[in-house]
Amino acid sequence: MSIEEKLELIEESPVKEKFRFLVKAVADLLDWYNDADLEEGAQLVLGLKSSFPWDSVRLANAEKLKSRLKSVLTSAAGQVSGYHKELALATRQLAKSEFHGSGKTRQIHFGNRGDVAVDYGLGFGKAIQSKSSFAADKASIDEMIRVAANQLTGERSERETPLPKDRRVVDVTIKNSSNPWPETALLGPTTLEKVRSRIDHLVRDYKSHEARSRGKGYVGFFSLDNELETLVDPRISKLPRSRISSHNRVGIDFVVKIRWDTPRAIRINDATKSVRQVTTRTQVRYLPGKTWWDGYLRTMTDVLLWKPG
């Protein structure tokens, strides 16, 4: 089915008009970029041949237009990609039933408990902070993971605080094939351990975006240790609204999914694999000792799975 045929299926006129605008805008951007690219190429060729007239102003204009278009594309593509991903995640849940055989359809929420949240039934659910980046540098991806983890604590907004039985999911897509994350330079394959350890560091050791003197937010998981038994939020001691839910003395706090649009070369078990997704789980676990009082709590991040490209 063509785009025009799909547009005709839309009954709401304002929605149809917006889709038509986006389709036309993308076509215009392509035309303008190609025109500027041809103009730049033509003037550069003429400039190399002194016997042919060439216009330095036309060359400068073409270069400026291409530069502006690249800037606009980076910004627009980043915004559209983020919303596109949120809707893709939600669409997968559109007609699925709740767990436990209730027969009810799962509810989907936007901008509440996360970018996307899904109810599984009986109080269980999933709160997702979804991020996408066209950036070429490692630092941008690091910051996205930090911010998403910070948001899932509810430290930035009460509205973004997941429910007690929500699994908290950080879902980051790297859309630039030249981004070296988790390395600082793209010199070859990375390793599964470097992916795991980088996520572990970012999720457990990030700093609150608020001034630490204000006492809001937390640094690391161990500020939650004393609350594991009661599942009480350490910020509001009377409310059972912890950021973790413990079961058999294991508290799952963050699941982090890293996706690559262009599969990443990763060394796994002494072999280089083409990988499009790595999923990790960070949890607070009670490790027993010889006697119950010898036991202690430890925070750890493990690789749950990886998917080939």
Which pLDDT value is given to residue 41?
Answer: 83
Residue 259's pLDDT is 97
Q: Is 254 exposed, middle or buried (0-12, 13-18, 19+ CB in 10 A)?
A: buried
CA atoms lying within 13 Å on the CB side of residue 217: 22
d(CA 108, CA 162): 14
Amino acid code (one letter) for 106: R
Question: Among residues 199, 251, 256, 202, which one has the least CA distance to residue 224?
Answer: 251
Separation between Cα atoms, residue 32 and residue 38, nearest integer Å: 10
Q: Are strands 108-110 and 166-174 parallel, antiparallel or unpaired?
A: unpaired
Q: Are strands 166-174 and 250-268 parallel, antiparallel or unpaired?
A: parallel
Query: What pTM value is reported for the model?
Result: 0.78
Residue by residue, pLDDT tens for the chain (309 residues) are 898 889 889 989 899 999 999 999 999 999 999 999 888 888 777 766 655 566 888 888 889 999 999 888 888 888 889 899 999 999 988 888 877 667 788 899 998 889 999 988 777 788 999 999 999 999 999 999 988 888 887 767 777 777 767 788 999 999 999 999 999 999 889 999 999 999 988 887 655 444 443 333 333 443 433 343 444 333 334 433 334 444 444 455 678 999 999 999 999 988 999 999 999 988 766 566 665 555 555 667 889 889 998
